[in-house]
Amino acid sequence: MTTPVTTLVVIAKEPLPGRAKTRLHPPLTLEQAAEVAAAAIDDTLRAMRDMPAARRILLFDGDRTPAGSEDYEVVRQVDGGLDERLAAIFDAVDGPMILIGMDTPQVTAAHLAPVFEPWQVDAWFGPASDGGFWALGMREPRGDLIRGVPMSTDRTGDIQLDRLRDAGLTVGMLPTLDDVDTIDDARTVAALAPATRFAALIDALVPPVGTHR
């Protein structure tokens, strides 16, 4: 098995107040939470800029695509739950692909390096510390292996991984990363990636624990 990945998919939604990173409010305002979401998208696209993907897709929900996505083919997310939206792109792409989200602005090229080497597995899986996942790849993309997986639970990752393995796929594991959902998550991720735009914004907006601004 030596087929390299050819398609990189980044899923994101337009960072509008009240629609993006709403769990950061409070302590952030909805406008600030949207700014943080925009920074996370920017950092993710920057990190992926030099990855050797033959095709790049931004799986997008919104009207105004973010700066840095000019080299991406924009595909609109279908209606439905997250499982349906992910499944649809896995049904639409031919050949090996990897999908990542924008909730892990600390992601680097090194985290995904194994995916851009000759594949010795049928699928790649990047678990998130909250029980979800931040990356999912398949040599032969199949939406049916995602459709129906309950999303945004502390069992999502385990259920998705079981789906892959129960289908007889060999799975390569990527590093576990922290998703940004809460303000504590944001502090943790900012500390892990201090050079990111995300970290600079969190430092400016979020007082250190035990202090007031």
pLDDT tens-digit series, residues 43-61: 999 999 989 998 999 999 9
pLDDT band at 5 (very low <50, low <70, confident <90, very high): low
The model's pTM is: 0.94
Residue 207: predicted pLDDT: 76
pLDDT tens-digit series, residues 169-180: 999 999 999 999
Determine the Cα–Cα distance for residues 167 and 144; give it in Å rounded to an integer.
10
pLDDT band at 1 (very low <50, low <70, confident <90, very high): very low
Prior bond to 27 cis, omega within 30? yes
Q: How many CA atoms are closer than 13 Å to the CA of 194, on its beta-carbon side? A: 1
pLDDT tens-digit series, residues 14-45: 999 999 999 999 999 999 999 999 999 999 99
Residue 6: predicted pLDDT: 84
% of the chain residues with pLDDT over 70:
95
Domains observed in the chain? 7-205 (3.90.550.10)
pLDDT at 4 over 70: no
- Average pLDDT of span 190-197: 97
Q: Strands 97-100, 7-13: parallel, antiparallel or unpaired by DSSP?
A: parallel
Residue 210: predicted pLDDT: 52
DSSP H stretches of helix in 98-145: 109-112
pLDDT at 84 over 70: yes
Other CB atoms within 10 Å distance of the CB of residue 5 = 25
Could you tell me where the beta strands, DSSP code E, fall in the chain?
7-13, 55-61, 73-76, 97-100, 123-127, 133-138, 171-173
**How would you label 174-189 residue by residue, b for 16+ Cβ within 10 Å and e otherwise?**
beebbbbbebebbbeb
Residue 13: predicted pLDDT: 96
Determine the Cα–Cα distance for residues 17 and 129; give it in Å rounded to an integer.
26
